[in-house]
Structure 1
Amino acid sequence: MTGQEGAAWRRWGPYLSERQWGTVREDYSDNGDAWSYFPHDHARSRAYRWGEDGLGGISDDKQRLCLALALWNGRDPILKERAYGLTNSEGNHGEDVKEYYFYLDSTPTHSYMRYQYKYPQGEFPYDDLLATNGARSRAEFEYELLDTGIFDDDRYFDVTVEYAKADLDDVLIRITAENRGPEDAPLHLLPTLWFRNTWSWADGAPKPELTAVGGAEGTSVIRATHPELGVHELHVEGDVPLLFTENETNHERLFGSANASPYVKDGIGRCVVDGESGAVNPERTGTKAAAHYTLTVPAGGSASVRLRLAPEGADISLGRGFDSVLRDRVKEADDFYAALTPPSLGEDEARVLRQALAGMLWSKQYYYFDLEQWLAEHGLDPWSPEAHGVRNREWFHMISDSIVSMPDKWEYPWFAAWDLAFHTVALAVVDTGFAKQQLELLLNDAYLHPNGQIPAYEWNFGDVNPPVHAWAAHFVNMIEERLTGHSDHAFLARTFQKLLTNFTWWVNRKDPNGRNVFQGGFLGLDNIGVFDRSAALPTGGQLEQADGTAWMALYCQTMLQIAVELAQEDPAYEELIVKFAEHFLWISASMDRIGEQGDELWDEEDGFFYDVLRLPDGSATRLKVRSMVGLLPLCAATVFRSDQLSGIPHITERLREFGRRHPSLNTTLAAAQAGKADGARLLSVVDEKKLIRVLGHLLDEEEFLSPYGIRALSRYHAEHPYSFYVHGEELRVGYLPAESDSGMFGGNSNWRGPVWFPMNALVIRALLNLYAFYGDDFTVECPTGSGTQLNLFEVAKEISARLGRIFLRDEDGRRPVYGGQEKFQSDPHWRDLIAFHEYFHGDNGAGIGAAHQTGWTGLVATLMVVFGRLSAEDILSRPGGRAS
């Protein structure tokens, strides 16, 4: 579905967070400790201010009415309503969800979705997980749920939730519990319906209502009446008890003060788990309700229940018509992915692709955050001269009230600007319209700061993420052009105009010396270097960043690409072509210089780019850490086709005139003007000689080239760690293929060796562009020292294949992503459930970090589609190639 009809089909979707507790939005503490102010222990009893969470849930697109799963095995101390995990200070490697759940299927409109949760039959080991992880050091493995023995003898349930839409507002729900254990086992299954609490925060706000009403024979019905949504009804299969309470805070339990009503948020849990019948409303009305199924699931068997959420008065069925709709939606989903999947992919590759995209689509979340209101509730107004330690105080203008693609709805249930840009590149192959909407979202006036800065992420909107929005917008538009045959110039123009203000912000704020050598802070790469690059340097002075400068070179190139395309129809963009071309030349020249005193970014001896520390006395030194920072200049490579340039011939003369005025740039300009016989031009920070030298490092298996992609830090530093001394203290960077031993940026900052998909994607993109220019005649040794010569298309394909290998079964039937987790490697009920981790072990490919972060790791699907359909001939067949 597209357009308005498609938007309507998306009205209901997987928009609940997996974790709302412990977020900045819910933090009203005096010290900004969000994790401690609203812990997991409060979540079942305390009404949220800004959003809702749940297991495998759905909601409308403003999260007014929510539906999710709740479970009790008869042994847990609390009702299982949300995923449990450790906070940043509790986990030995930072925050970490300690549950197993999987996003198995979804169409772009969420007409069909499938989710699975593995629920132990024994008492959930909350205390064991907390205590054991707390006792472990940063150098030790994390203590996971499987390690507790709770899944021994397969004593658990596979609980699968399916959603299928019969119409825009008519959602069918089937919940199936499969007992994998050797004995019959009890299960309390409570599909729960509730309203987000919007009435407690504003005087006079209307309060919605849930009530029990009569239904057809053999069904129970909960009616949901909302002043904006209207009236919906949840039809529940079977004559089962309906439990009602209010989505209100239990002040008595948490704070020792009286409750206004005996019916509070944790009332259903107290009734089911603790036997407190008085905790639910006998009048069967409230703002939170659940159907209480008490099941005995036979050993090796299953039990299912059916529900249907539809507008009042809809002609619905929980019988044969229900099954027919479900079958139709499953078939439509199968047909959709069959058409999307390249025929060259095998069964296992197709499985990985589909689950990666399902995870992308499930990871949408309604994100509500009115900063002016939130800051006012912290005692600040836009004219307040004192910050009082409250974060994000400069963002009064910002109002987020949208569905946003999340990095991970438990570990990162808030958007991050550069993550989101990479998400759109993955989403573009499955839902181009949503990808474009997401790119425009952060450029909207409600998000973009009046000074032009794009908000970074919830913990500090004023931090700086890499400027990848322009590249992502151009890439997504190219995907749409390939799919539909036309370019969306209106989208490009809207995006370009907003990015102009952001580009100006970068130039004004992050080039302090006016030398076209940029700073920017950590730029998403956390602890990759010697220093915390977002803090004042302990040496004083400034850090001139190879990655910050390379990001700006790529930014210029992409803005130039968009301007060239728009200039085909609107001559007003021609001046902007000159602007970005000239700016790129200045940046490229700043990276091209070889300083006599070794104080420039390029190191001729090593053949690599490094950050430069420039001290207050004017002296400078390179920080010779071979990391992704020094590979990023390679990524600033863009080809312009002859047919793009033929319509604006006078631009070439303008650039020649620029060269005459600035003879110091002649070398850089000559490289830009040199073209192939067909008229194609290459803009690149690295010339051919530098390219060969950088690729020598990149493709060396003893440096960056892992069996599973490109490492963030060269393996060279395993034997040769880099040390820098400040005031007698050694600051050290060594190769660490998995979790870091550095506490810089928190326990889950790990850029000193693992494989990260976004950076690999940019390297592959650059190689394809360079291949489009250099063609088959330019080859390099891959791997370095192997004697095998490959052209750059073959190199890109090889890196992509290594990345895909992380998730695919090897010759022994094992998936590297699961490392030594034998349950996932060999159990038939686990081995095909793919986890798309945040990053991956630099030597063995095991998944590390957020286990459900399909976010930018979903790029594996894009790579599979691209290399499943794209050949070297496709790139070379058009004048000047066609890579992005």
Structure 2
Amino acid sequence: MTGAERRRLHDAERGTPWRRWGPYLADRQWGTVREAYGGDAWTSFTHDQARYRAYRWGEDGIAGISDDAQRLCLAVTLWNGVDPILKERLFGLGNGEGNHGEDVKESYFHLDATPTASYLRMLYRYPQREFPYQDLISTNRERGRDEPEYELADTGVFADDRYFDVVVEYAKAGPDDILMRITAHNRGDEDRTLHVLPTLWFRHTWSWAGGADRPHLRATAPGTVVAHDPELGRRSLVVDRAVPVLVTGNETDNERVFGSPNESPYVKDGIERVVVHGEPGAVSPDDEGTKASAHCALDIPAGHSATVRVRLTDGPPDHEAAFSGFDTIVATRRAEADEFHVEVAGADLADDERTVVRRAFAGLLWSKQFYALDVERWLTERGVDPLADTSLPNHQWRHLVAEDVVAMPDKWEYPWFAAWDSAFHAAALAAVDPAFAKHQLELLLDRRYLHPNGQLPAYEWNFGDVNPPVHAWAVWFVYELEGRKDKEFLARTFPRLLRYFDWWLNRKDADGRNVFQGGFLGLDNIGVFDRNAALPTGGRIDQADGTAWMALFCQNLICVALELGEVEQAQSLLENLAWISAAAQHEGVGFWDEEDGFFYDVLRTPDGGRVPLRVRSVVGLLPLAAATVVDGEVRTRFPQVVDDAAAFLERHPAVANSLWGRGSQANGSGTVLFSLFDETRLRRLLARMLDEDEFLSPHGIRSLSRWHLEHPYVFTVDGQEHRVGYLPAESDSSMFGGNSNWRGPVWFPINVMLIRALLHLHVHYGDKFTVECPTGSGRHLTLRQVAGEIGDRLFSTFLPDDSGVRPSDGGGPEDPALFHEYFHGDDGTGLGAAHQTGWTATVALLPALLRGTGTSR
């Protein structure tokens, strides 16, 4: 163990509360199912209402932190002197307002972070002109699906550099002693005044709980606030200057929202009414309440900066002590962060590459969020009997009770967990914080989340939907990445993963043929039909990806079972895998198309017909991801497992005959390969995947073959055409909601899983097995080198070219990199959610995974 941050992580696992405070505020709490009271969540609780309406389940803010139960929150509030409202939270469009669905309309960047939040740094760009709220709404509403999104920079509000770059830093002097430094840079050519208001407030918990103790805070002197919470205790906030402190209540303005009297005249928007509208009576004359802002008006000359220093501590409000050595502590924590990230990324990376890794982890660590939801209480508060059937969302998940810090996909566009996103987050987090990664995987397997029937909750809009079952893959990945030393982690997760596996076996195999459905499975707009809806043809779709996910799920569970010495479970799982593999490979049942050399979904019509849906997409590449190698020593460690597997195949010749190699999938390397293809099919599949006119883009593997640009797939039912054509960026279809987007772009999670499979296949086949890469180039690579080639292309998305522009920027300004949800299939431009560093943070794993691949890296 080396370095200060590693020591903090070590101490945190032994009880020192280094994780108690972190960036746990949402970027958006409004427009969520949690806060909705009837109707669409986006219109039930809007951005405008968030200014004067108390939240029920959480809080949001700009560059904010809170304790791990979100009792007390700290964030920065800003006002440029011309906006009609304070800038307290990030603005964006609801799903019905954007031409490509919901979208944040702000400019901000996560610059740095450590796992314990001992150091955090973020940049928020604030216009000096009036923020163009209405322009963003009306212009996006007028644009069609075939037009790009209208972003904040497109409005011209940043023209002539008339903006402030506001850099917010946090550094911990101790677990409960937090330094906040806010530095505002005037980038324009005129002197400007910026109002900076460090804001401290309590999450509103007292009205809902019926008699719960109410916390309180009080301004005791200029620039000083003392807060007290019955559970959290006493905290002091001190600002480095004697400025007015404005105190109000974190209370709903009932008069404005509901037309009913307010219990107190000091409500949530009281501070805004003072600062923006000049109403001094809107805040408490007694300087007591549950929300307070220190009002710092900074006159900043053109091209210069000004800094506000804040300290939130469990000690007394001692001004002199608070700022003695303040800047030294911040500098020390930043140096420790440098040390930590050099250790994580490795010394062999170039500076640009190391920056990509560090920023990817920064976004991932900043995306932690306190997430609270008690579904039974949520239903009751809406007048619904929790035990009765209801049309409200998630009524079948009334057991779910969440009060946890969760790594979110994106705290604005996705400020809620999604099961398969969480698995990819854990894979990336394991490189910087294995303990938290394991905690995240165990969280959704906890009885507070896991359905009694064994299903994992999918995501807040519909917990009962089905996400790809990648949790076992992530459990095994994290276990291996940490050095295969925490068998207790495997032992804790294994029984519940088995329950989840059984749920899939019993619920998603319509005919008991070991061929699986699943519907959506994350690939919402890549197929001919909405796989979550009734088909226009009737019948159902047997899914190549659903079956591949289940094969991989089974393979991962076998690895866990063997590692734990669970012989009987391993034997049972091997039999399950044999049935699934045989069904997937069977000529008249499975998904392989011999003519095309590809795997396709199969439409099962009501009359018993079987129609391959010949769309060349990642649906057909996912069987490649379901390839796992087991060390040959399994034969000597567990001879009974091997003998029982042989006996099983002897008893079931139909299964053995459908498996490639007739069930004997070993070679000279001594390893055992579990896969859904033989060498011949592998070569044909790779020929398509590595063809630059099909799947291989300059920046990774596309989600749809570019072949469909000139050859769209068309399926006609009752005179109506259902068409799939290649689109490298946003989709032209709203098949699955307003932000459907899966007809060509590159996205990182599947690429990482394909790379993982290629590395496994190389272990099995060795250096003698080579393929053309790219197809038709005459350049032959081993499978390990192919993995490296794909990894290099993915990584290059974030590296500046000779002119200093990154492909992900789309030719834009040289701002810090953003880690988007997905990327243009031809040029690598970032698309979708602009801060979804969650699963895109898997880019940070590539250098470690691919060292020594023999590629350009």
Once the two structures are TM-superposed, the CA of residue 653 in structure 1 deviates from its matched residue by: 1.1
Deviations 1:436-484 (A, max 9, x none): 0000000000000000000000000000000000000000011111xxx
* Aligned equivalents of 1:121, 1:212: Cα separation in 2: 30
The match for 2:325 is 321
Q: Does 1:337 align with 2:359?
A: no
* Aligned equivalents of 1:68, 1:7: Cα separation in 2: 24
The letter for the 2-side match of 1:22 is G
* Aligned equivalents of 1:732, 1:328: Cα separation in 2: 58
1:848 to 831, 845, 848: 831
Structure 2 matches for 1:548-627, cutoff 5 A?
Answer: 548-567=546-565, 573-595=566-588, 600-627=590-617
Q: Does 1:660 align with 2:650?
A: yes
* Aligned equivalents of 1:800, 1:747: Cα separation in 2: 31
- Other structure's SS at 1:403 match: strand
The letter for the 1-side match of 2:333 is R
* Aligned equivalents of 2:738, 2:406: Cα separation in 1: 26
Report the number of matched residues.
844
In the alignment, structure 1 segments of 5+ residues that lack a partner are 568-572, 874-884
* Aligned equivalents of 1:91, 1:308: Cα separation in 2: 39
* Aligned equivalents of 2:16, 2:524: Cα separation in 1: 37
* Aligned equivalents of 1:404, 1:614: Cα separation in 2: 40
1:837 to 795, 816, 820: 820
- Other structure's SS at 2:716 match: strand
- Other structure's SS at 2:503 match: helix
* Aligned equivalents of 2:803, 2:251: Cα separation in 1: 53
Structure 2 matches for 1:233-312, cutoff 5 A?
Answer: 233-312=236-315
Q: Does 1:360 align with 2:364?
A: yes
The match for 2:417 is 415
The letter for the 1-side match of 2:54 is A
The match for 1:491 is 489
The match for 1:166 is 173
The match for 2:761 is 770
Deviations 1:51-86 (A, max 9, x none): 000000000000000000100000001000000000
The match for 1:882 is none
Once the two structures are TM-superposed, the CA of residue 858 in structure 1 deviates from its matched residue by: 0.2
Structure 2 matches for 1:188-227, cutoff 5 A?
Answer: 188-214=195-221, 220-227=223-230
* Aligned equivalents of 1:622, 1:794: Cα separation in 2: 33
Deviations 1:763-820 (A, max 9, x none): 1011000001001000000000111000000000000000011100112321000113
- Other structure's SS at 2:217 match: strand
2:95 to 44, 69, 88: 88
Once the two structures are TM-superposed, the CA of residue 378 in structure 1 deviates from its matched residue by: 1.9
1:126 to 129, 133, 137: 133
Once the two structures are TM-superposed, the CA of residue 383 in structure 1 deviates from its matched residue by: 2.5
* Aligned equivalents of 1:182, 1:257: Cα separation in 2: 48
The letter for the 2-side match of 1:841 is H
- Other structure's SS at 2:529 match: coil
The match for 1:22 is 31
Q: Does the CA-based 8 Å contact 2:805-2:811 persist in structure 1?
A: no
Q: Does the CA-based 8 Å contact 1:6-1:109 persist in structure 2?
A: no
Deviations 1:476-535 (A, max 9, x none): 011111xxxx52111001111101111000000000101110000110111110111111
Structure 2 matches for 1:322-721, cutoff 5 A?
Answer: 322-384=326-388, 386-387=389-390, 389-481=391-483, 486-567=484-565, 573-595=566-588, 600-667=590-657, 668=659, 670=661, 672-721=663-712
Q: Specify whether residues 619 and 128 from structure 1 end up closer, same or farther in structure 2 by C-alpha distance, changes over 3 A only.
A: same
TM-score between both structures, scaled by the size of structure 1: 0.94
Once the two structures are TM-superposed, the CA of residue 379 in structure 1 deviates from its matched residue by: 2.2
Q: Does 1:867 align with 2:850?
A: yes
- Other structure's SS at 2:396 match: coil
Once the two structures are TM-superposed, the CA of residue 872 in structure 1 deviates from its matched residue by: 7.2
Q: Does the CA-based 8 Å contact 1:118-1:157 persist in structure 2?
A: yes
* Aligned equivalents of 2:174, 2:14: Cα separation in 1: 11
Q: Does the CA-based 8 Å contact 2:787-2:850 persist in structure 1?
A: no
Once the two structures are TM-superposed, the CA of residue 652 in structure 1 deviates from its matched residue by: 1.2
The letter for the 1-side match of 2:582 is A
The letter for the 2-side match of 1:362 is W
- Aligned-residue sequence identity (percent) comes to 60
* Aligned equivalents of 2:15, 2:82: Cα separation in 1: 44
The match for 2:3 is none
2:718 to 723, 727, 732: 727
The letter for the 2-side match of 1:788 is R
* Aligned equivalents of 2:15, 2:191: Cα separation in 1: 44
- Other structure's SS at 1:59 match: strand
* Aligned equivalents of 1:224, 1:377: Cα separation in 2: 29
* Aligned equivalents of 1:514, 1:146: Cα separation in 2: 54
* Aligned equivalents of 1:258, 1:149: Cα separation in 2: 42
The letter for the 2-side match of 1:583 is N
* Aligned equivalents of 1:635, 1:649: Cα separation in 2: 28
- Other structure's SS at 1:724 match: strand
Q: Does 1:229 align with 2:232?
A: yes
TM-score between both structures, scaled by the size of structure 2: 0.97
The letter for the 2-side match of 1:513 is D
The letter for the 1-side match of 2:36 is D
Deviations 1:628-661 (A, max 9, x none): 0000001111111123442111211111111110
* Aligned equivalents of 1:450, 1:240: Cα separation in 2: 54
The letter for the 1-side match of 2:528 is V
Q: Specify whether residues 792 and 145 from structure 1 end up closer, same or farther in structure 2 by C-alpha distance, changes over 3 A only.
A: same
* Aligned equivalents of 2:665, 2:127: Cα separation in 1: 65
Q: Specify whether residues 796 and 630 from structure 1 end up closer, same or farther in structure 2 by C-alpha distance, changes over 3 A only.
A: same
Once the two structures are TM-superposed, the CA of residue 867 in structure 1 deviates from its matched residue by: 2.2
* Aligned equivalents of 2:805, 2:278: Cα separation in 1: 46
* Aligned equivalents of 1:4, 1:275: Cα separation in 2: 49
RMSD of aligned C-alpha atoms?
Answer: 1.4
* Aligned equivalents of 2:822, 2:357: Cα separation in 1: 17
Once the two structures are TM-superposed, the CA of residue 622 in structure 1 deviates from its matched residue by: 0.7
* Aligned equivalents of 2:554, 2:571: Cα separation in 1: 11
The match for 1:879 is none
- Other structure's SS at 1:204 match: coil
- Other structure's SS at 1:53 match: coil
Structure 2 matches for 1:100-119, cutoff 5 A?
Answer: 100-119=107-126
Q: Does the CA-based 8 Å contact 2:788-2:853 persist in structure 1?
A: no
Deviations 1:101-122 (A, max 9, x none): 1111111100010011000000
Q: Does the CA-based 8 Å contact 1:672-1:681 persist in structure 2?
A: no
- Other structure's SS at 1:642 match: coil
* Aligned equivalents of 1:276, 1:362: Cα separation in 2: 35
Once the two structures are TM-superposed, the CA of residue 326 in structure 1 deviates from its matched residue by: 1.0
Q: Does the CA-based 8 Å contact 2:617-2:704 persist in structure 1?
A: yes
Q: Specify whether residues 492 and 328 from structure 1 end up closer, same or farther in structure 2 by C-alpha distance, changes over 3 A only.
A: same
Once the two structures are TM-superposed, the CA of residue 318 in structure 1 deviates from its matched residue by: 3.8
The letter for the 1-side match of 2:577 is F
The letter for the 2-side match of 1:244 is V
Q: Specify whether residues 7 and 753 from structure 1 end up closer, same or farther in structure 2 by C-alpha distance, changes over 3 A only.
A: farther
Once the two structures are TM-superposed, the CA of residue 345 in structure 1 deviates from its matched residue by: 1.1
The letter for the 1-side match of 2:338 is D
* Aligned equivalents of 1:6, 1:537: Cα separation in 2: 54
Once the two structures are TM-superposed, the CA of residue 672 in structure 1 deviates from its matched residue by: 4.2
Q: Does the CA-based 8 Å contact 2:656-2:663 persist in structure 1?
A: no
Q: Specify whether residues 872 and 671 from structure 1 end up closer, same or farther in structure 2 by C-alpha distance, changes over 3 A only.
A: farther
Q: Does the CA-based 8 Å contact 1:565-1:644 persist in structure 2?
A: no
The match for 1:880 is none
